Amino acid sequence: MKDIFKYPHILYRKIFKRDLYNVGLVRAPIHSFLDPQWRPDIVWLPERSKTGTFIADPFGIEYNGKQYLLCEYFDYREPKARIMGAELNNLKLVDDLKDAIEIPCHISYPFLFLHDDQVFCIPETSHLNEMALFRAESMPSGWRKEAVLLGNLPAVDPSIINFDGRWWLFYGDRRTKEASLYISYSDSLYGPWLPHAKQPVKTDIASARSGGTPFVHEGKLYRPAQDCSRIYGGRVVINEVVVLTPDRFEEKMVAFVQPDKSGPYPDGLHTLSSLGNITLLDGKCEKFILAATVRSVKTFLKKKTNTKKQEDF
């Protein structure tokens, strides 16, 4: 808190600036981002028409010959985010986004994957204190809660992959202040899920927190992660997973995905996900948002009032 008053620009940003994200599409597979010399051509979706709203955390799937997108939708006037979805065609939305998975609390990071010719999603539902599996009954908006994979756990940004004969879940824990990575594994999608022997397997604000789709390229497993060492959602780092067993884990950073400083979203990037020969990402710009500032002031005054009541008591 002292640093905020010591550096006025930090105080200004904390009070008046907010992140506005948007989803971008790149006509290239996700492994293209391993090449440090390659620069993607990003096609951005239209900005939300309503001020103070944005979309982020994009994940996509190809199913029955069509491409679909799920993403987080957030409105600074509302207390929680929700998941919205739409069909994609030629890097564009076929129709406007519609509500998809709905739960009575904040939900984000809708990780999509195929299994046994069915579409599944594991979104972040940490405020429900569980990691749940949803199955699509119709795409993109018809979803049913199928199972709870891990209970009594406020898991953050869960990401899953079937690799080397096992299912692997990578996630964070909202109760820990550090950027730590946890892993669970199972022989079946429905469990039982067992914790890795070295939990947490990694603690590093620059490369631990999940940031998109793990993928295999030329026999090697890669895991996108968020680099929040300078600022939240600063950039994505791609880790090569060198060792992955129930009792051992090792990875190394091999590539960095920077925001496009010359584009409309130069201030950050925190998701990189695969959609066949297309890659989805999100970018952010920092702007003044009146609704967010009003909300911050109300929250601050409420905290001060509650503190004063406790002192008086």
Tell me the CA distances in angstroms from 58 to 55, 159, 269, one per residue in order.
8, 13, 11
pLDDT tens readout for residues 276-286: 999 999 999 99
Longest dimension (CA), the chain: 65
* 117: CATH: 2.115.10.20
Residue 118 lies in a domain: yes
Q: How confident is the model at residue 12 (pLDDT cuts 50, 70, 90)?
A: low
- Across 107-124, average pLDDT: 98
pLDDT tens readout for residues 101-112: 989 899 999 999
Q: How many CB atoms lie within 10 A of CB 160?
A: 25
Residue 8 lies in a domain: no
Residue 97 lies in a domain: yes
Residue 13 lies in a domain: no
Is pLDDT at 99 greater than 90 in this prediction?
A: yes
On whether the CB atoms of residues 225 and 236 are closer than 8 A, the answer is yes
- Across 171-178, average pLDDT: 89
Nearest-angstrom CA–CA distance, 91 and 223 = 24
Instruction: Determine phi and psi for 168, rounding to 5 degrees.
Output: -125, 130
Residue 3 lies in a domain: no
Nearest-angstrom CA–CA distance, 250 and 254 = 13
Instruction: Determine phi and psi for 151, rounding to 5 degrees.
Output: -105, 170
Is pLDDT at 134 greater than 50 in this prediction?
A: yes
What average pLDDT does the chain have? 91
**What domain range includes position 107?**
19-312
Share of the chain above pLDDT 90, in %: 81
Residue 9 lies in a domain: no
Instruction: Provide the number of structural domains found in the chain.
Output: 1
CA atoms within 13 A on the CB side of 152: 0
Question: What is this structure's pTM?
Answer: 0.90
pLDDT tens readout for residues 238-293: 999 999 999 999 999 999 999 999 999 999 999 999 999 999 999 999 987 766 66
Going 227 to 230 to 232 to 233, the CA torsion angle's sign is negative
Is pLDDT at 166 greater than 50 in this prediction?
A: yes
Q: Which of 14-28, 70-84, 147-161, 185-199 has the lowest mean pLDDT?
A: 14-28
Q: If you search the block for the tokens 């953050």, which residue do you land on?
A: 156
Is pLDDT at 308 greater than 60 in this prediction?
A: no
